[in-house]
Each structure stands twice: as structure tokens, then as C-alpha cells.
């Protein structure tokens, strides 16, 4: 029995020592991690300072360039312009709105005869002549687009007039 009590006391004693060593190891690790975090925070702060310094340098360079541009351009002075009084006594309605119109020049009769000859041949144009001129496929396409053969024949007349 004395042996059992001795073993129990030894276990309690060693277990207490063991937990103490574990807490010391944990404290040591947490202290190392805290130091590591502090070092990283210092590095972050130095990088931020460098970036801020670069940003300030850029801002100063922009301000210098802006000042240089402004000094290079001559500011425009405002002139005091006095308005003149308008004299409207020289207005002439006859000049602005003339009543006489230019006489149209008569066209030669020969050209009228030629034009009437082309219109008379185009007015006689039929389905066969239109198909011969543009082809059956296009004639069918125009007939379908415009809804009737007479409309497609009118289209042929227009195309023939444009070619001439």
C-alpha cells in the first residue's frame, strides 16, 4: 500500500512538472511569434513610408510640371470692347427681296424630241423586254418585293432610264 501511495505521489509530482514545462514551451513559442509579428509590422510600416514618399514625390513633380505649363503660357488679357451702334438705314427691301424673276431659257426642241423618244420606248416596255434586260431571277425578285408584275416593269423602266 505504501508503494501505491508513493507511486501516486510521484505521478502527481511529475505530472505537475511536466505541465509546467509545456506551459514554458508554449510561452516561449508565443513570444517568438510575437517577435516575428513585430518584425513583419515594422517591414510593412517601412514599405508604407516608402510608398508615401514616392507618392509625395510624384505629386510634387506634377505640381512643378503644372506650374511650368502655366508660366509658359501667357495669360490672355480681357479687352474692354465697346459695342458700336448699328445703323440700319441702308436696308433695301428691293435688294433683299427682288420681285422680278429671271426668265427661264427655252431648251432646244431637238433634245425634247430625243427625250420623248426614250420615254415612248420605255412606256412600251413589256415583261419580255424587262426579263431580257435584267434576267428572270431579278424579275421574280422584284415581283415578289413590290407585289405585282407592273411594279417590277416600272422598276425596269427606271433602271433603263438610269443606264441611258
pLDDT for 33-74, tens place per residue?
999 999 999 999 999 999 999 999 999 999 988 887 776 666
* Beta carbons of 160 and 133 less than 8 angstroms apart: yes
pLDDT of residue 75: 63
pTM, whole model, 2 decimals? Answer: 0.30
Label residues 46-84 b or e (16+ Cβ within 10 Å = b).
eeeeeeeeeeeeeeeeeeeeeeeeeeeeeeeeeeeeeee
Question: What's the pLDDT tens digit per position in 110-141?
Answer: 554 454 445 444 457 788 888 988 899 989 98
Amino acid at each position: 500500500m505504501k508503494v501505491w501511495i508513493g507511486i501516486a505521489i510521484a505521478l502527481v509530482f511529475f505530472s505537475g512538472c511536466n505541465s509546467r514545462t509545456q506551459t514554458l514551451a508554449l510561452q516561449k513559442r508565443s513570444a517568438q511569434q510575437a517577435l516575428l509579428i513585430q518584425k513583419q509590422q515594422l517591414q510593412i510600416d517601412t514599405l508604407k513610408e516608402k510608398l508615401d514618399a514616392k507618392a509625395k514625390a510624384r505629386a510634387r513633380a506634377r505640381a512643378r510640371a503644372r506650374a511650368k505649363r502655366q508660366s509658359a503660357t501667357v495669360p490672355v488679357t480681357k479687352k474692354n470692347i465697346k459695342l458700336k451702334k448699328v445703323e440700319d438705314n441702308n436696308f433695301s427691301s428691293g435688294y433683299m427681296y427682288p420681285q422680278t424673276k429671271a426668265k427661264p431659257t427655252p431648251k432646244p426642241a431637238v433634245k425634247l424630241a430625243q427625250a420623248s423618244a426614250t420615254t415612248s420606248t420605255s412606256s412600251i416596255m413589256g415583261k419580255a423586254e424587262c426579263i431580257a434586260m435584267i434576267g428572270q431571277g431579278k424579275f421574280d425578285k422584284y415581283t415578289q418585293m413590290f407585289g405585282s408584275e407592273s411594279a417590277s416593269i416600272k422598276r425596269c423602266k427606271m433602271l433603263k432610264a438610269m443606264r441611258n
